[in-house]
Every structure is written in C-alpha cells, then in structure tokens.
Amino acid sequence: MPDPVLYNTLTREKEPLSDQSVGIYVCGVTPYDTTHLGHAFTYTAFDVLIRYLRFLGRNVIYVRNVTDIDDDILLRARSREMHWKELGDREYDKFTTDMEHLNNLPPEHEPRATDHIPDIVQIIEGLLAKGCAYASDGNVYFDVKNYARFGKLCGLSYVAQLELANERGNFPADPLKHDPLDFVLWQAKKDAEPSWPSPWGEGRPGWHIECSAMSMKYLGETFAIHGGGGDLVFPHHEAEIAQSECLTGKPFVRFWMHTGMLYCGEHKMSKSLGNMVFLADLLPVCPPDAIRLYLLGHHYREPWNHDRRELATARTLARKLSQALNGGLEEASPEEIERCGSGVLAALADDLDTARAIEELRKLAFSGEPRARRVGRTLGKHVLGLTFEA
C-alpha cells in the first residue's frame, strides 16, 4: 500500500508519512469539565489515524497527556469547594470512561504533568543555561526573541501573535517580563495554590513546558506527529516548538496535525462559553457507533456546526450498518481487502478523509456481495473503530 499523505500545519502542505515506527503525541484534556463533543471529535479522529497506521503495519506509540494542574482546575475546584486533585481525578475518570464507550483505543502512555515535575525542572534549567530563558522573582520566562523562528507554525505577525496570546491568557503587562509575548516556564507559588520545589523557589510549571517535557520523555527529542485541536496552534504548540528546539537544537516534530473547531451556533464549543454538548448526555440515548459516524462524517481539519438532524441521520446509518454487517461474517482475507477495500483505504490515505471512507464502507455494506460485506466489516471494525452493535 502507498504511504498515507497527511496535511502538515507546519509546512501547509500534504506530505507522505513513510515512517515505520510512528510516535504520536496528542494534547489531552484539562480535566475539570469533560467530555464535550469537541473533545470527542479530536480524539476520535486521532483514534482512526492510529488504527489505520497500525492496519498498514506501522508500529505506533500513542501518548496522550493529562494537564492535571492548571489555572482553570484551581478556579473550578475553589468554586466547588473541592481539592484540585480530587476534581481532576474525578473528571479524568469520566473522560476515560467516555473514550471507552466511544471505542477509542487507550494510549500507551497517559502521563500527568504533576508526575513529571523533575523532568520539567531539568528542561527549564537547560533553557536557562543556553540563554533562552530568564529567571525573575521566582518565575522563569522563555525569551521569544531568542528564537528567531517563533511564529513559524501559526504564520502570524508579532502584533497578531500578541493579540491572540492576550485573548488566551497571556499577561502582556507583567512587569517581570522582558517582552510582552514571553511566556512562563515556571511560576512562583501563590497563596492557597499547590506548589513544588525548584531551584527558583516553590511554584508550579507553565502549561507549554509540561507538554514538551512529557512528549520528549516518551517519544524522544524528535518524533513524527503532534496533534490537538486547532485552537492549540498558538500559543501552545508554537511555544512547544520554540522551547524544545532551543533546548535540543533538533527539529521537534515532523508533522503537526490539528482538528477543526466544533461550533454550537455562532461560537465554538468550549467550557468558557458554556455551550457544550456532553457525551455523558448523548450516550444513554444514542449508540456509540452513531456518535462515531456523526463525528467521522466530518473531515478532521474542517470546522463544523453541531446539528441534531445530522446526528439523527448518523444514528439511522449506524442501525443499517449493524443490520448489514453484524454477526455471522468472518474476517476478510488480505486478498479480499486488496480487491474490495481500496476505496476505504484510499480515502484514509488522502489526509484521513473519514467522510469519504464512510461512504465507501456504505457501498461495501449494502452491495449484497458476501465478500464485500466481509471487507466492510473488517475495515469498519479495525480501522474506523465501529462495533456494529447499534
């Protein structure tokens, strides 16, 4: 089979992925309010990518982190009068249960930021030693002017970067910063907040440095694919590139993949706006296969709008596929897959076009030919992650 071609946010082009061993790091949830359909869209898309690559015979190591210490977790825990760790553990348990119900494969590694404080401190020390960061009153900041290619992932001007960073939590007026766009690697302890020891005093890590530490810990200084939602391109992933490449002097990631935003009305589905549709509310009334077909009916890079009518259509399709492909069908042979399954596989090879793959699966399921149905069941189950139990 030819190498799959994937769109790379960094180069803004589709490129072939020829690696036989593929490290994949996907930014995980900040567990304080999970799991909405936007989460499900991202992680189900990457689930299909992983299944597809393994079906091709690639050795995939999948890492999905947990941002278990964060301003949002602390704020939510205080508002509910809960311990921050209790809240995070509870919400993450909900998230993993939701992923299981959706039939998403578990990652090989699920590192938590708080378990990797020594790794984070070591990286910060390395950045300070190289002159890429500076300490100020118990805080440590990354010096963006030290990395000439800052902005290469997002392609935005300095002014546009600063405007977007400010919208997403940056504090440009921080008097301890050299530049308004500099971002925090380590923040000094605040009253009533959890903290860990460091050479700069008690405190906790910044968000961006956590993912650099955890991804390189499990996948090495350079790995194949880093993914997440499109809202992470800047500043999160841009910051990851800068700090990682300044530390190692090597390319950090070869392929950057980002999912489109899911909207509910005019606004993206997000915790801050409170316009979320939760999986926990859908699963009791909608079979997991229907939700998978609904999500995968959209190309992973395209923004789209939640539509109940479209979900109902996916539910009907799930029921019909179950009737056509559930029970009594053996696994298809490699020869049968090569003969009948090229449509599904070609769609996925073209930048993971799951919507077209579902259409090809529909043709196989309703062809009336036993061989085609066997191929449809095999590819639907092992590559698209369907159970045919709708």
Give the pLDDT score at 370: 93
Which of left, alpha, beta for 141 (phi over 0: left; psi -120 to 50: alpha)? beta
Q: Kindly state the helix (H) or strand (E) to which residue 21 belongs, with its residue range.
A: strand 21-26
The total of other beta-carbon atoms located within 10 Å of residue 169's CB is 11
The predicted structure's pLDDT at residue 269: 67
Which residue do the tokens 């205080």 mark? 78
Distance, C-alpha 84 to centroid of its chain: 23
Q: The domain at 17-264 falls in which architecture?
A: 3-Layer(aba) Sandwich (3.40)
List Cβ neighbours of 110 (8 Å cut-off, separation of 6 or more). Answer: 28, 63, 64, 65, 66
pLDDT at 272: 63
Dig out the tokens for 359 from the structure.
């259409």
Q: Where are the domains of the chain?
A: 17-264, 287-298+307-382
Judge if the upstream peptide bond of residue 35 is cis by omega within 30 degrees of 0: yes
Q: Does the domain made of 287-298+307-382 have the CATH classification 1.20.120?
A: yes
For residue 298, the number of C-alpha atoms closer than 13 Å in the C-beta half-sphere is 25
Amino acid 270: pLDDT: 67
Cα within 13 Å of Cα(132), Cβ side: 20
pLDDT of residue 276: 82
Q: What is the pTM of this model?
A: 0.96
Note the pLDDT tens digit of each residue in 47-92: 999 999 999 999 999 999 999 999 999 999 999 999 999 999 999 9
Q: What is the pLDDT of residues 227-256, one digit of tens each?
A: 999 999 999 999 999 999 999 999 999 999
Question: Residue 50: what residue type?
Answer: I
pLDDT in 10s for each residue of the chain, 390 residues: 789 999 999 999 999 999 999 999 999 999 998 899 999 999 999 999 999 999 999 999 999 999 999 999 999 999 999 999 999 999 999 999 999 999 999 999 999 999 999 999 999 999 999 999 999 999 999 999 999 999 999 999 999 999 999 999 999 999 999 999 999 999 999 998 999 999 999 999 999 999 999 999 999 999 999 999 999 999 999 999 999 999 999 999 999 999 999 998 766 766 666 678 999 999 999 999 999 999 999 999 999 999 999 999 999 999 999 999 987 789 999 999 999 999 999 999 999 999 999 999 999 999 989 999 999 999 999 999 999 996
Handedness of CA 167, 169, 137, 142 (dihedral sign): negative
pLDDT at 28: 97
pLDDT at res. 273: 67
CA-based torsion, 44, 47, 51, 53: positive or negative: positive
For tokens 């020891």, name the residue.
Answer: 197
Contact predicate 295/44, CB 8 Å: yes
Q: Residue 151: CA atoms inside 13 Å, Cβ hemisphere, count?
A: 16
Please report the sign of the dihedral spanned by the C-alpha atoms of residue 290, residue 46, residue 206, residue 98.
Answer: positive
**Cis peptide bond N-terminal to 235, omega within 30:** yes
